[in-house]
Amino acid sequence: MKIGLVGYQGSGKSTLFEWITGETADPSQAFSAQTAMAAVPEPRVEPLCEIYQPKKITLASLEIVDTPGLSRDHSGSAQKLALIREAGCLVIVVADFGGNDAKDDISNFDADLLIADLDIISGRIERLREQIKKPRPDRDELQKELEVLEPMYAALEGGKALRELELNPDQEKMVRSFQLLTLKPRLILVNSGDEAVDQSQYENSIPEGADLLALNIGLEQELDQMDASERDEFISEMGIERSDRDHLIRKIMHVSEQMLFFTAGEKEVRTWMIRKGGTAVEAAGNIHTDLAQGFIRAETMNIDDLVRLGSEREVKAENLLRREPREYVIQDGDIITIQHN
């Protein structure tokens, strides 16, 4: 899944990108999007590997997209925001250093996203109204679309993100191709200039439906570059509490409503991503489209059972290996083997 890093100029997006992906942002690419992968940490992979001794370990990753910052006079905003249209989740980086007021910027940036969606929807509504005036075979469909878009327009105009509307699946399908920004889950990341970060001061500024995390991106990056003893000394001297990389990645997973499941064998132990509430056949499709097409069942066990009992054979003997149908909802800790033809 793509995670779009957005925000105003100089808020710390590229520093964040470098910290969580370990890649260097290329300054010559500063006007376009840069992409790198960030593996999702999962401590339960280790006990799983002790059991299977696999040849290969593969962790699911998020695709992190760094974008050029928006300017406060809105020049070029639409072009820059177009770079994150495909993202499944937005991380909005807001500076609270160098004279920037994070609380103002949180609401200003939210307004920028609302305006971007408003532009798209009002353009479409105008066009639909024109088209409906004339007799044409798809008139009913166009009328239906208009009836979905008009309340969305009203919501945006009232300062409400479209995520708050709770569209039904039909409506969602109808507007999917517009890749609207305020339909995406969003995490506001306050980049604090302080060494000891107090998150509570921002909590009243969180827009409805968004999540917030405050940390010092530059400092966290520096801490990760120190060796362990140096780091421990520094942390205890400064009396700071860390909000480390793993914590942030888990938070992004939570906000974007994604979870992990496992596949395991002697060849490979691997984690995979699936949306929360995703089914066995969707899990199969995430592994390979062929597995979804030929899906018969998902042999499923829970990782806690496997680790406790020590082997797949014991799990089977205890009747804890389940055979699940395509509509089974994947649970946290599921290890699955897809049977297919």
Ligand X SMILES: Nc1nc2c(ncn2[C@@H]2O[C@H](COP(=O)(O)OP(=O)(O)OP(=O)(O)O)[C@@H](O)[C@H]2O)c(=O)[nH]1
Q: Which residues bind ligand X (CB under 6 A)?
A: 7, 9-15, 30, 68-69, 97-98, 191, 193, 216-218
With CB under 5 to 8 Å by kind, the binding choice for 191 among ligand X, Mg ion, none is ligand X
Is 334:75 a contact under the CB 8 Å cutoff? no
The DSSP output letter for 279 is B
User: Of 5, 6, 14, 210, which lies in the binding site for Mg ion, with binding defined by CB under 5 A?
Assistant: 14
Shortest CA distance to 189 belongs to which of 3, 40, 11, 67? 11
In whole angstroms, the minimum distance from the beta carbon of 226 to ligand X comes to 16
In whole angstroms, the minimum distance from the beta carbon of 249 to ligand X comes to 18
With CB under 5 to 8 Å by kind, the binding choice for 278 among ligand X, Mg ion, none is none
Taking CB under 5 A as the rule, does residue 34 contact Mg ion? no
| CB nearer to ligand X: pick between 13 and 163 | 13
Q: Looking at beta carbons, which residue is closest to ligand X?
A: 69
Q: Spell out the SS3 assignment of 22-54.
A: CCCCCHHHCCCCEEEEEECCCCCHHHHHHHHCC
In whole angstroms, the minimum distance from the beta carbon of 143 to ligand X comes to 42
Q: Looking at beta carbons, which residue is closest to Mg ion?
A: 14
* Alpha-carbon gap, residue 178 to 122, rounded angstroms: 12
In whole angstroms, the minimum distance from the beta carbon of 22 to ligand X comes to 15
Residue 324 phi/psi, 5° resolution?
-110, 145
| CB nearer to Mg ion: pick between 33 and 149 | 33
Taking CB under 5 A as the rule, does residue 21 contact Mg ion? no
Task: Give the 3-state secondary structure of residue 239.
Answer: coil
| CB nearer to ligand X: pick between 9 and 331 | 9
Taking CB under 5 A as the rule, does residue 67 contact Mg ion? no
With CB under 5 to 8 Å by kind, the binding choice for 97 among ligand X, Mg ion, none is ligand X
With CB under 5 to 8 Å by kind, the binding choice for 193 among Mg ion, ligand X, none is ligand X
| CB nearer to Mg ion: pick between 14 and 243 | 14
| CB nearer to Mg ion: pick between 24 and 311 | 24
Residue 206: CB partners within 8 Å, gap ≥ 6? 106, 188, 212
- Taking residue 123's Cβ as centre, other Cβ atoms within 10 Å add up to 11
Is 262:272 a contact under the CB 8 Å cutoff? yes
Is 302:318 a contact under the CB 8 Å cutoff? no
Taking CB under 5 A as the rule, does residue 11 contact Mg ion? no
| CB nearer to Mg ion: pick between 14 and 256 | 14
In whole angstroms, the minimum distance from the beta carbon of 50 to ligand X comes to 39
In whole angstroms, the minimum distance from the beta carbon of 11 to ligand X comes to 4
| CB nearer to ligand X: pick between 4 and 278 | 4
Burial bucket for residue 117 (CB in 10 Å: 0-12, 13-18, 19+): buried
Using the structure block, give the residue that is written with the tokens 């919501």: 155
Query: Angle 64-67-69 (CA atoms, 0-180°, nearest 5)?
Result: 140
With CB under 5 to 8 Å by kind, the binding choice for 9 among ligand X, Mg ion, none is ligand X
* Alpha-carbon gap, residue 338 to 71, rounded angstroms: 49
- Taking residue 327's Cβ as centre, other Cβ atoms within 10 Å add up to 9
In whole angstroms, the minimum distance from the beta carbon of 70 to ligand X comes to 8
* Alpha-carbon gap, residue 246 to 45, rounded angstroms: 14
| CB nearer to ligand X: pick between 191 and 271 | 191
Sign of CA dihedral 270, 273, 276, 278: negative
In whole angstroms, the minimum distance from the beta carbon of 13 to Mg ion comes to 5
In whole angstroms, the minimum distance from the beta carbon of 206 to ligand X comes to 20
Stretch that binds Mg ion, among 5-13, 126-134, 223-231, 291-299 (CB under 5 A): 5-13
Interface with Mg ion (CB under 5 A): 13-14
